[in-house]
Amino acid sequence: MGPFEVPSIGLGCMNVSHAYGVPATSEAAERLLRTALEEGVTHFDTAALYGFGANEELVGRVLAAHRERIVLASKCGMTGVDGRRVIDGRPETIRRTADEALGRLRTDVIDLYYLHRLDRAVPVEESVGAMAELVTAGKVRALGLSEVSAPTLRRAHAVHPIAALQNEYSLWSRNPEQGTLATAHELGVALVAFSPLARGFLTSAPPDPGGLPAGDIRRGMPRFDDRHYPGNLLLRHELERIAGEAGVTLAQLALAWVVSRGPHVVAIPGTRSVSHLRENLAVLDAVVPAEALDAAGRVLNASTVHGARYNEAALAEIDTERCGRAG
């Protein structure tokens, strides 16, 4: 991943502070991060947006003493302003956000700094140019992008080398296969797969859409609504059968599939559960038959999934390629 060597499974830290119902307690969140460190996780991913700064503060509080042992990733370009999520890729905003992040993370340098979203009002060259200045200033070591298309990746890479592209990638979100998976490989860019477990759908405890708390991001996602969720559950049952025959859990099958997509692909599943954390990390030592991975990919893919990954308003905000009927 750019100048860094990381295992193919890292930790996405968003879940404990943002988007999925009520945030975890400080005690539970700190326990999860410490356990991840003990279990050998070296790649931790956060963002200024998550908890509107609370997640960066958590990561800094828990991991600052172990800074030399980890690859620390965070993001700019999308933050909380007066209680609202705002996309802002202006150079002055990026510089300010970086300084704020360094303080919250209790570090002098961020290893990997992403542009969280492309601001359509600001050319990507201007945003990445400001981020490149952070590298020159010694505040950031490497740059990344998130939720962008292959053409945007190329434009950014021409301004400054891009170390990592973080896009959603899982059995049911195949958008990278429309261009960014191959382009990233060509340019020597790591593809960092977020939501590799389909926002909890491909775990031992899939969400009950009717019981999701107010504010849970999945309440607005078509794949979890009444029209589409029953059909997706039928596909999930078939995946459970494949996983059982392969001797792994459904989550392990799903993660193994993602990291098998190329030598440049790494995954950052998030969780609030220590047991799920350990289950996910066990993929690093698991041997999943290629036949099982192929079968899983045939069962759940862009052609078989029910519903788009985002609603139309959210899709309008992102720059990634759309993928068939799945958006």
CB 272 within 8 A of CB 24: yes
Whether 50 is catalytic = yes
CA–CA distance, 32 with 62 (Å, rounded to integer) = 10
Phi, psi of 140 (to 5 degrees): -140, 145
H runs (alpha helix) in 247-301: 250-259, 274-281, 290-299
Q: Which two tokens stand for residue 286?
A: 């698991």
CA–CA distance, 327 with 176 (Å, rounded to integer) = 12
CA–CA distance, 55 with 14 (Å, rounded to integer) = 7
The catalytic position among 20, 50, 229, 310 is: 50
Terminal Cα distance for the chain, rounded:
28
Task: Look at residue 234 and give its three-state secondary structure.
Answer: helix
Catalytic residues: 50
